[in-house]
Structure 1
Amino acid sequence: MDTRRGFLGRTGSALGATLSLPLALEPSFAASPDTSGDWPRETSFRFTGEMANFEAAQRALASLYDVERDFATFDAAYYGAMTLPVQASYRAYSQWVNRNNSLFLRNAAPGHPRDTELDCSRAAVAKLLGARTEEIALSGGGTEALYALIANYALLKAGDAVIYADVDYDEMQYACDYLEQSRGARIVRFSLPEPHTEANILAAYDRILKETPRAKLLLLTHLSNRNGLVPPVKAIIAMAKARDVDVILDSAQAVGHLPFTVADTGADFIGFSLHKWLAAPLGTGGIYIRKERLQDIAPWLGNRIHGPEDIRARIPTGTVDFAARLTIPRAIEVQDAIGLDAKYRHLVRLRDYWVEGVRDIAGLEIMLPQETGRFGAVTGFRLPGMKGPDDAKVAAKLFLDKYRLLLVAKAGLASGPVLRVTPALFNDSSELDRLVTAIRAERRMFL
């Protein structure tokens, strides 16, 4: 049986080599290509771990990863980390692309045309989201995807209003602000009332839409990277459409995290990451544009590589990490083997584990109400007395330096900064126990 570290060091393994890990894996995939330069061959992946039992699921999932354990890293909202099978595929594709270099990049590799192979990745993402392949374009991550949708929204006229909320991602707010500079739009910013119950959220969006008669575009975040809020997306989009307001849905934190399809959202325009919760290689993401709405997003800076009727014209064209994009179907296969519903339930269990361990601390604020459907793995909190943005940074540094716990200081909410905790599939309850112990020990640091 291979150890994880031993496997990672064996870069010259022949095609067909397999990895067997305790609890979680059946022999299932080719490790990396040999010197013959064959296209990487992968056998089917099977996850044999137990997901219903919390402790058994932790053991099974941990065996899929090789990550630094000296620190407990609670930042999956930034990067999800590849599983070992995905790492192996990425390494294999990297070697193959390097061996074939421009022959592949120029769409000329015999038997493996570049666009045909990349279309396999587009098709896999389309299936994951319940979309058509021609409605998906791959991008260099969620930020690039959403910039492309927002900056190139074609129906905006000078004087039209663009709305966003305090829970929306910084860079997507910047993209909306750019529409004011470049297109003469009027930017309308508002804050969601706390507590973030469904009733409060719907009332806030209904009010801002009524108060903004020239609203044309609304940025909506599927799962907030600030505090973890999952708003009632479909209801908000329906509310906006009833007023002829288009919605660009930021699903960077939702794909591979929340079970959903494009039909479940009602959205016509979605940007997303794949290197967060799907755990594909870094620098992978994409856009969805409902086919009937394609012309309402203009090509990227006049991009004509694929033609105006092709969604791929809406994304920057360049020499990207093709191996990363070729690996996307493998990441989806691993997720499918675990089961997205089971994965989501496990992530919520990890979140609830630490939240319940600190909920009784007087003055500590958990930023999300315990309301079904309003959160996944991500949750922000405030220590008693924590107020300014520097407080959050000081606290994050203390948890890292003193306790070897990586939490993230997040500003931007109208009510003030928070510390964000984002467990990943590789985290376990012993690490969460360390977190709970540290929070309880430092609960008076700002008092």
Structure 2
Amino acid sequence: MTNRRQFLAGAGAVSAGTLLAGHALATPAQAGVRGSLLGGGLSFAQTQQRLAALYDIDRSIVNFDAAYYGAMTKSVHAAYLDKVAWVNRYNSTFLRSGVPDMPRDQELDKSRQAVADLIGASLEEVALSGGGTEGLYALITNYALLKAGDAVIYCDADYDEMQYAMDYLEKSRGARVVRFSLPEPHTRANILAAYEKVLKETPRAKLLLVTHVSNRNGLIPPVKEIVAMAKARGIDVILDSAQAVGQMPFNVADTGADFIGFSLHKWVAAPLGTGGIYIRKSRLGDIEPWLGNRIYSADEIRSRIPSGTVDFAARLTIPAALEVQAAMGIEQKFSHLKALRDYWVTRVRDVPGLQLMLPDEPGNYGAISAFRLPGMDSPAKAKAAQALFVEKHKLLVVAKAGLASGAGLRVTPALFNTTAELDRLVAAIHQERRAFD
């Protein structure tokens, strides 16, 4: 039987430090300071060059869809393959947590603790999930305080599947679903006024879904103020931070929310199918165990997530992804992502009839933004525009419907994208400005 020491030696045979060193990136321990990768007075072009070298990415089509999947760096991908090989070799002797000297849960807790540290939570407040969507379904559908006739609220900027989960509460729990649209332009004042209005006009409101960063157009609403507004009326908030964790500075205390779901395969760039939930320790009892799950006890947050067989290698790789994130520094990373967004946006403002779907207010956007070509006035035309950009220009931008104001094309630069690729996007927008006139 492999003992614990042998396990740790084997699992760490390809250490994160060794892997990162092979790709011009030191771990925080090697570098001595967090944020060393993007620090040191590098120019914007030098930063792009350094970041691009970290990835092995197909560039036959320029990918502006980082909001879907962040893509692992070469070092994280190598660490993942190492974990896959190790889990496959030891298979059930590792997967069955009761086998002596094979510390499955202890190793997974290292990933949980790394995530907890990332978001400013404790280990007992974090459970890993199969992505943000799974985690948020668990929080919404198992919210325990809802009574028949209570109202649940969401808006048009919220993610489709989370809207479906809120709708499910009508059928399963007898809740009244209240839907509203955020007024455009999406200014801070307009957003706060819209939430104030819907909360005031819904006296039996019990649960509010708030999206931290909209997947439709990149809107970052004033989350802390909205959560406080809801709490003042006795309304709980489930915060969808799938697009926030890893993209921007994030701490659970800063949000004020007691229930948060998030992805790790988007902006943290861990392997696909990784995410998590946060439940404030004092509120654990207000989310029921997943479908009566008794694999873990009711006072354990992991009972709130499906307990079937998962990609253990992916979850074991999370700390390696977080090492890369730490070496970048979240402030520097967010600043670079916003700079990529600003680069293309400022170069298409003069396109006649083009609609940019977010006003440039401080704090209301990050990497994600969206636009409408003149005459692109339906979801069908948005999909046609996506196909046009892919087939003619080899650029992946994504048609997104759902906002009351209409569909748009979402652009999400990744860390591996360059200004040369953004210049291609700008040229394509100018060229196709009359495609739907």
TM-score range relative to shorter protein: over 0.9
Pairwise CA distance, 1:360? 1.1
Q: Which residue of 55, 63, 72 maps to 2:62?
A: 72
Cα separation, 2, equivalents of 1:343 and 1:276: 14
Task: Give the equivalent residue in structure 2 for 1:354.
Answer: 344
Q: Which residue of 396, 409, 421 maps to 2:386?
A: 396
Pairwise CA distance, 1:18? 4.9
Task: Give the equivalent residue in structure 2 for 1:330.
Answer: 320
Task: Give the equivalent residue in structure 2 for 1:128.
Answer: 118
Cα separation, 1, equivalents of 2:108 and 2:37: 31
In structure 2, the CA distance between the partners of 1:14 and 1:148, relative to structure 1 (3 Å rule), is closer
Cα separation, 2, equivalents of 1:77 and 1:90: 21
Moved more, 112-121 or 232-241: 112-121
Q: Does 1:301 align with 2:291?
A: yes
Q: Which residue of 131, 134, 146 maps to 1:141?
A: 131
In structure 2, the CA distance between the partners of 1:175 and 1:367, relative to structure 1 (3 Å rule), is same
Q: Does 1:97 align with 2:87?
A: yes
Q: Deviations over 1:357-386 (max 9, x none)?
A: 101111111111101100110001100111
Pairwise CA distance, 1:111? 4.0
Moved more, 104-113 or 46-55: 46-55
**Length-normalised TM-score, structure 1:** 0.91
Q: Does 1:235 align with 2:235?
A: no
Q: Which residue of 425, 432, 440 maps to 2:430?
A: 440
Cα separation, 2, equivalents of 1:163 and 1:107: 41
Q: Which residue of 300, 303, 325 maps to 1:313?
A: 303
1:358·1:439 contact (CA, 8 Å) conserved in 2?
yes
Task: Give the equivalent residue in structure 2 for 1:151.
Answer: 141
Paired residues for 1:34-433 under 5 Å: 49-51=37-39, 52-108=42-98, 111-433=101-423
Task: Give the equivalent residue in structure 1 for 2:25.
Answer: 25
SS at match of 2:57: coil
Unpaired stretches in structure 2, ≥5 consecutive residues:
1-11
In structure 2, the CA distance between the partners of 1:54 and 1:21, relative to structure 1 (3 Å rule), is farther
Task: Give the equivalent residue in structure 1 for 2:9.
Answer: none
In structure 2, the CA distance between the partners of 1:190 and 1:14, relative to structure 1 (3 Å rule), is closer
1:381·1:418 contact (CA, 8 Å) conserved in 2?
yes
In structure 2, the CA distance between the partners of 1:389 and 1:134, relative to structure 1 (3 Å rule), is same
Q: Deviations over 1:116-149 (max 9, x none)?
A: 1101101000000000100000000000000000
Q: Deviations over 1:150-179 (max 9, x none)?
A: 000000000000000000000000000000
Q: Deviations over 1:10-58 (max 9, x none)?
A: xxx9757656557x324x69xxxxxxxxxxxxx8578864444211110
In structure 2, the CA distance between the partners of 1:92 and 1:148, relative to structure 1 (3 Å rule), is same
Cα separation, 1, equivalents of 2:59 and 2:276: 31
1:21·1:63 contact (CA, 8 Å) conserved in 2?
no
Cα separation, 2, equivalents of 1:49 and 1:290: 33
Pairwise CA distance, 1:112? 4.0
Cα separation, 2, equivalents of 1:169 and 1:371: 22
- Tell me the matched-pair count: 420
Pairwise CA distance, 1:84? 1.0
Amino acid at match of 1:350: L
Q: Deviations over 1:274-297 (max 9, x none)?
A: 000000000000000000000000
In structure 2, the CA distance between the partners of 1:188 and 1:18, relative to structure 1 (3 Å rule), is closer
Cα separation, 2, equivalents of 1:260 and 1:390: 36
Q: Deviations over 1:297-323 (max 9, x none)?
A: 000000011100000000001110000
1:220·1:249 contact (CA, 8 Å) conserved in 2?
yes
Cα separation, 2, equivalents of 1:203 and 1:19: 47
Cα separation, 2, equivalents of 1:207 and 1:377: 29
SS at match of 1:272: strand
2:337·2:413 contact (CA, 8 Å) conserved in 1?
yes
1:45·1:334 contact (CA, 8 Å) conserved in 2?
no
Pairwise CA distance, 1:192? 0.3
SS at match of 1:192: coil
Amino acid at match of 1:363: G
2:287·2:304 contact (CA, 8 Å) conserved in 1?
yes
Amino acid at match of 2:295: I
SS at match of 1:353: helix
SS at match of 1:163: strand
SS at match of 2:347: helix
2:93·2:102 contact (CA, 8 Å) conserved in 1?
no
SS at match of 2:339: helix
Cα separation, 2, equivalents of 1:107 and 1:45: 35
Cα separation, 2, equivalents of 1:19 and 1:284: 21
2:399·2:408 contact (CA, 8 Å) conserved in 1?
yes
SS at match of 1:98: helix
Cα separation, 1, equivalents of 2:38 and 2:329: 11
2:157·2:214 contact (CA, 8 Å) conserved in 1?
yes
**Percentage of matched positions with identical amino acids:** 68
1:45·1:333 contact (CA, 8 Å) conserved in 2?
no
